[in-house]
Amino acid sequence: MTILGATTRLAAVTCLLLMGAGDAVAQGQGKGQGQGGGQGAGRGAGMQERIEMIDADGDGLVQEAELAEWRETVFLAMDGDGDGALTRDEYMAVQLGRGADPDARGPRYAQMQEAKAAEFEVMDADGDGLVPLDVFTAHADAQFSKADTNGDGALNATEFRTMHGRP
């Protein structure tokens, strides 16, 4: 990855983290009443925006290498103290979508936070309260492999949504 590419991706992640883009933009339109004439575009649009941000070659798929690069950028954005490991607080503090705006959090927010806390516990297998980059990326690689149901080394939109707990 080039320095410019790293800077651009870090800026994109920072914007997502600070502004709650993605799902917040799409879901904020209200139960699919935004783009798509009420056909459910509200929920899927945020996930599609995430795919487009990660899809560096623009082929409509999230390649394993693209996701690995993105995950590293996200990790660096979450690692508030820059020590190369995430604490539970750092991991839990990052909120995307509706979670980024306390006034827009949906009914699934608490459930999603519980799932996120459980995911941290899985990554923190040794119980030291820290998840270093290599553990974070290994966990992400395992998620990718599980989601890549056809084994082609890329995730289509359905596989990507499934990886993120969406139908």
Question: What digits encode the pLDDT tens for the residues 90-103?
Answer: 999 887 665 667 77
Q: 70: exposed, middle or buried (C-beta count within 10 Å: 0-12, 13-18, 19+)?
A: buried
pLDDT at 98 (0 to 100): 58
Q: What are phi and psi of 154, to 5 degrees?
A: -145, 155
Q: 45: exposed, middle or buried (C-beta count within 10 Å: 0-12, 13-18, 19+)?
A: buried
State the angle between helix axes of 133-147 and 64-78 in degrees (0 to 180), rounded to the nearest 10: 140
Q: Which residue has the tokens 């966990």?
A: 139
Tokens representing 48 are 């599609």
pLDDT at 99 (0 to 100): 60
pLDDT in tens, 95-136: 766 566 777 777 778 888 888 899 999 999 999 999 999 999
pLDDT at 49 (0 to 100): 85
pTM for the whole structure: 0.68
Distance of alpha carbon 29 from alpha carbon 61, whole angstroms: 26
Contact by Cβ (8 Å): 153, 57 = no
pLDDT in tens, 21-64: 333 333 333 333 333 333 333 444 577 888 999 999 999 999 99
Write down the mean pLDDT value for the chain: 76
